[in-house]
Structure formats: structure tokens, C-alpha cells
A and B are shown apart, each in its own frame.
Chain A
Amino acid sequence: MSELDALIELLAKLPGLGPRSARRAALYLLKRRERLMEPLAAALGEAAAAIRTCSLCGNLDTGEPCAICRDPEREASAICVVEDVADLWALERTRAFRGRYHVLGGTLSALDGVGPEDLTIARLLSRLERGQELILALGATVEGQTTAHYIAERVAGMGVTVSRLAQGVPIGGELDYLDDGTLTAALKARRAL
């Protein structure tokens, strides 16, 4: 296999790219060898060498522990549990949470045989201290909420306050366009004005 074919084959494995778009991307890179291709190759090499999974929270960062776990400005009294690093990044974009995180690495799944031992639940339990708040920011899915209930049950009696994200009408959402499940959840979680 030529170098070009190898490049196209690897690019085609990226999300959103098939063989055809990978060929276009390879051609685009080759036409911008110095401006894009070489810096990109260098950045990929450096990222692969430097980025590690934080041993405390499971975030991806160059430092160990990660910048969020090291940051003294962050509230140690609240830990937000997320399924994946992408969820952590989504919450960080909001700048609405100044506590720490814990990445579970998935959710419990009866169908796919994912059990508590396959997630970082044991590490989460070892991090918890009396008086902390545990925010379960897991998906509003059967698997996400089954995981949330499981964690809530495991931490019962540890002196930890457990909360979870609200479910309901999204900002800018119109009731007419919402699915029945979201509307049901919104009605159940209604609050006094």
C-alpha cells in the first residue's frame, strides 16, 4: 500500500469521513503541506505523546492530575458525574459549574453487558467525602438513569447530597414540537413560580 493510500485509509476512519471525503481531505492536506499538513502531523504526535487520562477524574489532559483537579479555585465540595469526556467539555463550555468532575466511562447496560465493574464507580466512591454534593449529570435515557439510581443507592449513608440535572423543555423550545417523553418529564418536574 502506498503512503497516500495509507493516509486516505486512516483519514477515512475519522468520524464524519468516508473513503471519498478522506481522499478530498488528503488532497487538501497535500496541497497545503507546509501551512497545514506538517503542523498537523506534529500536533498529532505531540498530543499522542502528552495527553493522558487523569487518574482522579478520568478527564483528558497533559497534566497528572488534570488542570481541573489541580485548580485550587474549583470547589472541592461538588463533584459532577458525567458519562464521557465529551459531556465534561459540554458542561465546561457553559461555565456554570465550578466544581470537579468524575468521568464514568459509560453507563450500565443490561443489553450490552456493561456492569458496575466496567465503569469507574469504585474510584468515584473512594473520592467522596462526607458533606460533598454529587451531581449526576447523566443522560435522560433508560441506561443513564439506571446508572444514576445505582450510584445514588451506593452512596446512600455516606453523608453525600445527591442531585441530578433537571429534565424538560429546552431553552427556545416550543411545546408543540417536543416529543411526548420530554413533555412528560417536564410536567413531572414542574416547579412553583
Chain B
Amino acid sequence: MQWVDRGFVLAARPHGESAAVLELFTSEHGRHLGLVYGGQSPKRRASLQPGNAVEAKWRGRLPEHLGSFTLELLFAHAARLLDEPLRLLALSAAMALLSAGLPECEPAPDLFAATQGLLAALDEGDRWAPHYMVWEHRLLAALGFGLPRGVESDVRAGLRLTGRILLREVLAPQGRGLPAARKRLAILLERAGAEVPAASAAWAR
């Protein structure tokens, strides 16, 4: 069987000497894994950076098999953010949380749309921090821990709240902590003080 879907690269781990096991967050198939032949080659590795948007064709004998991906890069989000320490951390944190939190092969269309919105906000560079906080609320909602809309307008307070819930309800039961990038993002945003805009407009998106 096979399917074609759009998705975001969450992680690519080396497999053997030249292949990679790729983890994608796809629009219609949720978090899905597959083998990429030659995934460790310099050319392939550029498109397998976390956050990159790809069109993926998955092939496998049975749906529960690992199968393999063939990919086409749609948009290199990661390359655009390499010079931006905070936005790069936000991208890493979002992809690490999706990788750790989402169940396999369960579509989450609302969260996929929210992730598209977050990556667009990170690319634009303007008011991305409130969008990141709202995205974490949407991640929690997709995992069944929805909070009242607009519960926090202060980004730092909002991240403290979502961080606590993500840790307690999603990550700790798996024996994991908050990803290092997420922890560091929260610390740096706390340090940024008044420069972080309020989240009220981001809730509307």
C-alpha cells in the first residue's frame, strides 16, 4: 500500500550506514515513521532538518510496517531560522514536543493547521512568541487536555502553565522531561522581559 501526504520533519535518526528512520507529522496520517534510503547523505540530510515541510510518499506492505518514504522538499523552514537563536529554539522545541507527545498514525488536522501557522509565524519573525504559546495550548487540546481559550494573555505565564501540564500529563508518564530546547526557550523568554508581546491577537489565528 502507499499514500502521499504533506508533512513536517520531526526527526531523522541514522539507521545502518546510509539510511535514516524519518519521523514526520503529516496532515492526514498524523505522526508517521518510515525509512529513507540514503537519508544520511549530505544532500538528503539538508531536507531532513526538523521543521522542514515535505511532500512524502510512503510505501509499505502493511500499514503497521515501518515502510519507506520518498520525499520532496516543499519549504526549508530550518534553513531560514539557523541565524535566529530564539526562533530556532522554538522550532526545535515544537518538533521535539510533537515527536514526544503525539501517538503514532493518529491524524490531528487541527494541530497540523496550528503547526503550519506556527511555522509561518516563525518565518515572518514578528510576534512569533505568542503564536508559540497558543500552539502549545493547541497541542494540549489535541492530546485531550484542552484549556479555556485565551486562558493566558502573558506569554511567559502561558508557557509556565503549558510546560507544567505537558510535563505532568504527557511527558512524565513516559519517563521523559521537557525537551531541553523547550526549557531553554522558556528561560530566554523570561529574560527577554517586556519585549515579549501579549498573546491576545495570537488566539484569533
Contacts and interface: CB of A to CB of B under 8 A. Distances in A.
B113 interface: no
Interface in B55-106: 73, 75-76, 78-80, 82-83, 85, 88-89, 91-93, 95-96, 99
A142 B91 contact: yes
Given A15-B17, A110-B180, A145 B76 contact: no
Contacts of B78: 141-142, 181
Given A180-B73, A181-B78, A184-B80, A111 B96 contact: yes
B76 A140 contact: no
12 contacts: A111-B13, A111-B50, A111-B95, A111-B179, A114-B180, A145-B83, A149-B89, A179-B46, A181-B52, A181-B76, A184-B76, A185-B79
Interface string A96-112: 00000000000011110
B43 interface: yes
B76 A110 contact: no
Nearest to B100: A111
Interface string A19-37: 0000000000000000000
B46 A181 contact: yes
Interface in A172-193: 179-182, 184-185, 188
Contacts of B10: 111
A167 B83 CA distance: 11
Contact of A110 (B45, B80, B179): B179
A153 B192 CA distance: 14
B47 interface: yes
Contacts of A179: 43, 46-47, 73, 76
Interface of B: 10-11, 13, 17, 43, 45-47, 49-52, 73, 75-76, 78-80, 82-83, 85, 88-89, 91-93, 95-96, 99, 179-182, 184
B92 A110 contact: yes
Given A142-B91, A180-B76, 17 more contacts: A16-B17, A110-B93, A110-B96, A110-B180, A111-B179, A113-B180, A140-B79, A140-B82, A142-B50, A146-B92, A149-B89, A152-B85, A153-B85, A181-B47, A181-B49, A182-B46, A184-B76
A145 B80 CA distance: 12
B164 to A, nearest CB: 19
B80 A149 contact: no
Contacts of B92: 110, 142-143, 146
Contacts of B96: 110-111
